[in-house]
Amino acid sequence: MRRSIVLLLCVLLLFTACSSGGSGYYTREIYCMNTVITINVADNVKNIEGICNNVVYYIYEAESRLSATVSDSAVSRFNSAGAEYEAEGDFLAVMEYAIDISQKTQGAYDPTVLSLTRLWNITEGGYLPSENEINMALFNVDYSALSINGNTITKSSAVCVDLGGIAKGYTLGKVVSTLSEKTPYGMVSFGGNVGVWGQKPAGGLWEIGIKDPFDAEGVVGKIITDSGFVSVSGDYERYFEVSGKKYHHIFDPKTGYPADNGLHSVAVYTKDAALGDALSTALFVMGYDKAMELYNSGIYDFEALFVTDDDILMTKGMEEMFTYEN
């Protein structure tokens, strides 16, 4: 019998857009990077509003540099540039992450999927392309065409990058790094990516709820930790249906179609938010068996939880962190 599973990265505390109501938390909420971002930090810190203002400014700036849909972003300039591009700052750092992870996951995570993202157009309601259209788009999907030497990013073919599978995690990591130096505790949520640190005012460990991909209302389990990041990728987040078949937003870069290997959701715990963001996508595309091969190789330090049609599967470390509800 299928277990009822939660894979919703929902914080278990509810907050308004900007508040400090005596709960021990100062809260800010914005919409950026195509998701709701919630910042919950200690409310007894001097100039906490100013600190959060600076963080929010950085988030908007990061989106303006790392989004493929912003016409003058570093990503857009790179995509329209020739074979070589002189990069700097966040864009260079994220590209270094992206290329390394794509190489070590053998393309299960691939930053050059922009042609597929545009073709399927899921954020605008979805389009079911023909096999010929998909094959044409795949000509421009090839992570091995990218390389970095110093500040120079080289592309050996006409690939275009979409950093949507790593930019939120990278930005979350920078935000948590900044806030954890200035505030004793907090939880920051970037949609499917959450970071926590410090001792909660009520005591105890942080509880990151995980949502059922089969039931939008169900929450039956939690990842419990004192710090770190959790990233979730699932087929229930953004999708469209044609003749009863679901087409979701996580593409297999080898086939050009949404990944279809029996997984409905993957949650990854790491100490590195950018890595966790990209890995949750990569493991989803790989499927359970290959994901466990990567885990057992020790290339990356992470724990993971996998939701299939009828089971929850976990790495050994995740078994110690995850608790079922009821």
pLDDT on residue 193 = 96
pLDDT category of residue 20 using cuts at 50, 70 and 90: low
Question: For residue 273, is pLDDT > 50?
Answer: yes
Domain 10-60+166-324 has CATH 3.10.520.10: yes
pLDDT on residue 6 = 33
Q: Confirm if 237 and 91 have CB atoms less than 8 A apart.
A: no
Q: Confirm if 8 and 219 have CB atoms less than 8 A apart.
A: yes
Question: What CATH number is given for 66-155 in this structure?
Answer: 1.10.3980.10
HSE (CB half, 13 Å, CA atoms) of 157? 10
Give the H or E element holding residue 29. Answer: strand 25-32
pLDDT per position as a tens digit, 110-156: 999 999 999 999 988 899 999 999 999 999 999 999 999 999 999 99
**Percent of residues, the chain, with pLDDT higher than 90:** 79
Give span(s): CATH 1.10.3980.10, the chain: 66-155
**Which amino acid does the sequence have at 278?**
A
Is the Cα dihedral 132, 133, 135, 136 positive or negative? positive
| Residue 246 CB contacts under 8 Å (≥ 6 apart), including other chains | 235, 239, 240
pLDDT on residue 19 = 53
Mean pLDDT score, 152-177: 96
pLDDT per position as a tens digit, 46-88: 999 999 999 999 999 999 999 999 999 999 999 999 999 999 9
Question: For residue 18, is pLDDT > 80?
Answer: no
pLDDT on residue 84 = 95
What is this structure's pTM?
Answer: 0.91
Give span(s): CATH 3.10.520.10, the chain: 10-60+166-324
Strand partners, 25: 42
Measure the CA–CA gap between 303 and 237, rounded to whole angstroms: 22
Mean pLDDT score, 266-290: 97
User: Lowest-confidence range among 20-24, 49-53, 71-75, 283-287?
Assistant: 20-24
Mean pLDDT score, 12-30: 64
pLDDT per position as a tens digit, 291-305: 999 999 999 999 999
pLDDT category of residue 219 using cuts at 50, 70 and 90: low
pLDDT on residue 131 = 96
Mean pLDDT score, 156-160: 92
Q: Spell out the alpha helix ranges (H) of the chain.
A: 48-66, 74-80, 89-104, 114-120, 131-138, 167-182, 273-286, 288-297, 316-321
Average of per-residue pLDDT values in the chain: 90
Question: For residue 163, is pLDDT > 50?
Answer: yes
pLDDT per position as a tens digit, 88-107: 999 999 999 999 999 999 99
The conformation of residue 252, written as its DSSP 8-state character, comes to -
Pairing state between β 312-314 and 228-234: unpaired
- State the SS3 of 269-317: EECCHHHHHHHHHHHHHHCHHHHHHHHHHCCCCCEEEEEECCCEEECHH
Mean pLDDT score, 282-289: 97
Question: For residue 204, is pLDDT > 60?
Answer: yes
Q: Confirm if 208 and 188 have CB atoms less than 8 A apart.
A: no
| Residue 182 CB contacts under 8 Å (≥ 6 apart), including other chains | 45, 51
* Burial group, residue 241, by CB count within 10 angstroms (0-12, 13-18, 19+): exposed
